[in-house]
Amino acid sequence: MPHYFDDDHRQQIEALRRRFTARTEWPTWLLLIGVYGAWFAVMLGSGWLGLGWSTALLIPLLVLWLSVQHELLHGHPTRSVALNKLLGYAPFAVWYPYTLYRDSHLLHHRDEDLTVPGIDPESRYLSAERWRGSSLLGRSLHWLNKTVLGRFILGAPLALLALAGEELDRLRRGDLQAWRMWLTHGALTVLMLVFIARCSVLPVWHYLLLISVPALSVAMIRSYYEHRPHERPEQRTVLNEAGWPWRWLFLNLNFHLVHHDLPKLAWYDLPEAYRMRRAQWVARSGGFVVQGYGQLWRRHGLKPIDSPEHPFH
């Protein structure tokens, strides 16, 4: 429990953790069963659904799967790292092996390093040196990526290009962990694609390019403005008071400061933890509050939200 919580706040959070829901983790178990069952149901029923409806159902389902994987790496629904890895290793979203996502994301939770280029693996900012060395095209792409529309269109391709560069470098250097991870993930992905080709009407290329990439693009909206540079680490993380469709799709990670302060608190307890002490969370964030993703779109659909260059690193 964070040291800056007073005794009453600690007791409130502990009360959430003692509830039957938290002790049994039944919402997360139900969610896991639901996502697996829905994916196979859409695949096997795609002949009846048709290509269009199958695509429309699978894109949000893969976004939800990415959110479920996030819960697994934070210790839900079990405390077993190995079991959660087994539950979350299915390559439905294709591009990121579960262990790669898990390890980089846990590094991201070092709040004192949030947004710092080269240290925070999820930073969306460039160091002054790298910014000065960027080409005109590179700078233009980074500026576009600072708009909501640009993040939706460019965020996934840019992230995948960066991933390819980093991981190919690891493989070339003979990193055994990287080789084991990618061979395992690759084998499972091939098996999944064979299943898709044989048991559904979806072409493999369609699943890769028109389902998994758009799903990653939607997930990029969540991370569009989760963090900002600030001298105080606790004021770098947003509180996004989004509507229920987005909260469900992102499993309440819009209350991002609450998640960073209480990373072991399950997704279904985040809204109540926020409501109980909203004024304190807002004060702690330095007023870093967004009134939903619609507000971001209205203000920054075509206007960069800030500079790609980190202001003080």
Position 312 scores a pLDDT of 84
Q: Which of 267, 235, 273, 269 is nearest to 251 (CA)?
A: 267
pLDDT tens digits for 69-112? 999 999 999 999 999 999 999 999 999 999 999 999 999 999 99
Q: Give the gyration radius of the chain's Cα atoms.
A: 20
pLDDT for 213 beyond 90: yes
pLDDT tens digits for 115-150? 999 999 999 999 999 999 999 999 999 999 999 999
Would you give the DSSP letter of residue 126? B
Determine the Cα angle at 272 with ends 268 and 278, to 5°. Answer: 135
What's the half-sphere exposure (Cβ side, CA atoms, 13 Å) at 59?
16
Would you give the DSSP letter of residue 197? H
pLDDT tens digits for 251-265? 999 999 999 999 999
Measured in residues, the chain has a length of: 313
Tokens of 24: 């049994």
Question: CA–CA distance from 271 to each of 19, 60, 217, 221 (Å)?
Answer: 15, 21, 25, 20
**Number of helices (H), then strands (E), in the chain:** 17, 2
Strand partners, 237: 227
